Amino acid sequence: MSEQLLSVRDLRVRFTTEDGIVHAVDGVSFDLAAGEVLAIVGESGSGKSVTAQTIMGLTRSPNARIEGSVAYRGRELLTADDEELMRVRGEEIAMIFQDPMTSLNPVYKVGDQIGEAIQAHRHESDHKAREQTIELLAAVGIPDPSKRVDNYPHEYSGGMRQRAMIAMGLALEPTVLIADEPSTALDVTIQAQILRLLEQLNRDRDLAVIIITHDLGVVAEIADRVLVMYGGRIIESGSLEQIFYDPQHPYTWGLLGSLARPDRPRTMRLSQITGQPPSLLAPPAGCHFRPRCPHAFDRCTRVPPLETRVGENHADRCWLSVEQKKTLRVVKTGEIGLEAPAA
């Protein structure tokens, strides 16, 4: 087992808003090993982005209550002061965001924005920083980097902007890159380029990547390990193979079953998950998935499920026993659906 870089324990994040308290993250624990690609999957409002932002110290605000622990190589980040946090940010953990259009400043040249990140942390001369920036742009596959370094963001295409963001993230040679929906705003052919770039960085630089996405296709393409989040909790975690071929939680079944797959002929009907995701203002008592789960029983309404180990590195939160799940899970020619088998 390689070195554990990041360890998150029982993380809880609550925001006080006008409408009440939003329980955005509700007891999340996981580890990230060096050189690993960890995917966090979930729908909007599942708490995946807040988890990542809290690791980076971006959710610190007067209305936020953060409990638990986030440790980077044994250093606690939740209680770290601004100076310490700044050192970790960028130099150890970098983050890239979904929308490359809004995360670059439109009135500064791309090269200057990347150079600024370098100079904020290291006392390099302007000339040196510029050279490093050009190297970085070349490393992320921007054509003609010595010219492109002087372009403004609007002169870049969507894919190039995301590459520039990745270059900025890599500027201080971090060991962890958190990518929040890095390819969602991009077209399929450009998405493939960006995923390939992330894979290459993971391989060549031994960069650990946390990729946050709602797209199970992206997960299948790039991840080693997967966390499935629902309603602020991790409801299942396991290796890529375990999640896709031996899913334990009914929500994971539903998610896999509701996908329209491009490599399969048209099926009769998509198996759907009925209802809406829970409101985090007033999450349902017990299991958060219970109101939408066809297999729920009375225990699910009362007590939130504890983590059950299914196998090595594979855990889920569901009150059904492993045997029950085996009979309830519908598996038809590689497809897994949520609907109960016809009697």
Q: Which positions touch another protein (CB under 8 A)?
A: 43-44, 143, 157-160, 187-193, 195-196, 214-221, 240-241, 244-245, 254-256, 258-267, 269-274, 276-277, 334
Q: How far is the CB of 244 from another protein (least distance, A)?
A: 5
Q: How far is the CB of 201 from another protein (least distance, A)?
A: 15
Q: How far is the CB of 270 from another protein (least distance, A)?
A: 4
Q: How far is the CB of 190 from another protein (least distance, A)?
A: 7
Complex with another protein: residue 264 or 332, whichever CB lies closer: 264
Q: How far is the CB of 104 from another protein (least distance, A)?
A: 17
Between the CA of residue 59 and those of 25, 62, 106, what are the distances in Å? 11, 9, 24
Q: How far apart are CA 166 and CA 340, in angstroms?
A: 44
Complex with another protein: residue 119 or 193, whichever CB lies closer: 193
> Residue 155 CA to chain centroid, in angstroms?
29
Complex with another protein: residue 74 or 262, whichever CB lies closer: 262
Q: How far apart are CA 256 and CA 244, in angstroms?
A: 8
Written as one letter, the residue type at 128 is K
Q: How far is the CB of 39 from another protein (least distance, A)?
A: 11
Residue 276 dihedral angles phi and psi, to the nearest 5°? -115, 155
| Secondary structure of residue 105 in the 3-state scheme | coil
Complex with another protein: residue 7 or 258, whichever CB lies closer: 258
Beta carbons of 210 and 178 less than 8 angstroms apart: yes
Q: What DSSP line would sit under 23-58, residue for residue?
A: EEEEEEEEEEETT-EEEEE--TTSSHHHHHHHHTT-
Complex with another protein: residue 168 or 219, whichever CB lies closer: 219
Complex with another protein: residue 215 or 307, whichever CB lies closer: 215
**Dihedral of alpha carbons 3, 74, 116, 96, sign:** positive
